[in-house]
Amino acid sequence: GAVVSQHPSRVICKSGTSVKIECRSLDFQATTMFWYRQFPKKSLMLMATSNEGSKATYEQGVEKDKFLINHASLTLSTLTVTSAHPEDSSFYICSAPATGERGYTFGSGTRLTVV
Amino acid sequence: GNSVTQMEGPVTLSEEAFLTINCTYTATGYPSLFWYVQYPGEGLQLLLKATKADDKGSNKGFEATYRKETTSFHLEKGSVQVSDSAVYFCALSEGDYKLSFGAGTTVTVRA
C-alpha cells in the first residue's frame, strides 16, 4: 500500500517550453506532497511542500513563479517547470507522508533534460 | 541548518563482499536518521531507521547505528548480493516531515 506514481520518468524539452510532472497517490489520500530536486552528485533538496486545497510553501531560494505546484485533489499533485532552461535540467522526485513505519513514500522520479 | 554528508560513489563490489557506506550529519536538535534505497526504475524505499542515540536499525542484512558522539549513521552489510545493487541515501528528519538527504551512493555488486 501507499504507492505514489510519478510521471513522466524522463522528459526532454526545448528551452522556453513548460513541462508538467504528475504525482498520484494510488491507494491513499495524500493531503501533503513534498517536491525534491537533485543535481548530479548532490543531495536531494526540498523545493516545496504542497497541501491539498491551499498554496504551496516554497523553500528559500526556489522561484515560485518558475516551479508552479498544484495540489487540487487528495490524489494528485503537479509540478510545472515554466519556461524551462538548461539549468533546470535535474532529477525531480515527489514524496508523501505515509502511515506506519515507513514514514514517507516516494515517486520513482522524473529526469528532466532541457535542450 | 541540517545537513547530511555521505561517502561518494560509485562503489563496485563482488558478491559476498563487505559493504560500508559512511554517513555523517549536522543537526540542531535530536534528529531521526534514515537510510533509503532506490532500485533501478523505482522510488525511494525506507531501508532502516533509528530515532535516538545508540539505536541500531536493521533490515535485509543491513545495519546502521545512531552514534551521537560522532554524529554518524554508517550503513553496513556483511555479505552483499547482486540484488543489493542500488542507490543508497542517508537522510535525517527533525519531526516536521522534512527530510534532509545526502547525495546518494551508487552501489554495484558483480557476480
Residue B19's pLDDT is 97
CB nearest A46 (choices: B3, B98, B103): B98
Given a contact cutoff of 8 angstroms between Cβ atoms, the answer to whether B92 and B78 are in contact is no
Average pLDDT over every residue of A70-87: 94
The pLDDT, as a whole number, for residue B89 is 94
**Closest residue to B41, CB basis, from A38, A105, A108:** A108
Average pLDDT of the segment spanning B2-27: 94
pLDDT band per the 50, 70, 90 thresholds, residue A41: confident
CA–CA gap between residue B60 and residue B55 (Å, rounded): 17
Task: Write down the pLDDT at residue B29.
Answer: 84
Q: How confident is the model at residue A113 (pLDDT cuts 50, 70, 90)?
A: very high
Predicted confidence band of residue B9 (pLDDT cuts 50, 70, 90)? confident
Interface membership of B31 toward A (CB under 8 Å): no
pLDDT at site B18: 98
pLDDT digits (tens, 9 = 90+) for B48-85: 999 999 999 999 999 999 999 999 999 999 999 999 99
Quick one: pLDDT at residue B96? 65
Q: Inform me whether the C-beta atom of residue B44 falls under 8 Å from chain A C-beta atoms.
A: yes
| Chain B residues closer than 8 Å to A34 by CB | 97-99
The three-point CA angle A23-A59-A27 to 5° equals 20
Say if the Cβ atoms of A46 and B46 lie within 8 Å. Answer: no
Residue B111 to residue A60: CA distance in whole angstroms: 45
pLDDT at A1 over 80: no
- pLDDT at site A27: 85
Looking at residue A105, its pLDDT comes to 87
- The pLDDT-based confidence of A102 (bands split at 50, 70, 90) is low
> Cα angle at B106 between A112 and B37, to 5 degrees?
85
CB contact under 8 A, B104 and A43: yes
Q: Is the model's pLDDT at A100 over the cut of 70?
A: no
Amino acid at residue number A52:
E
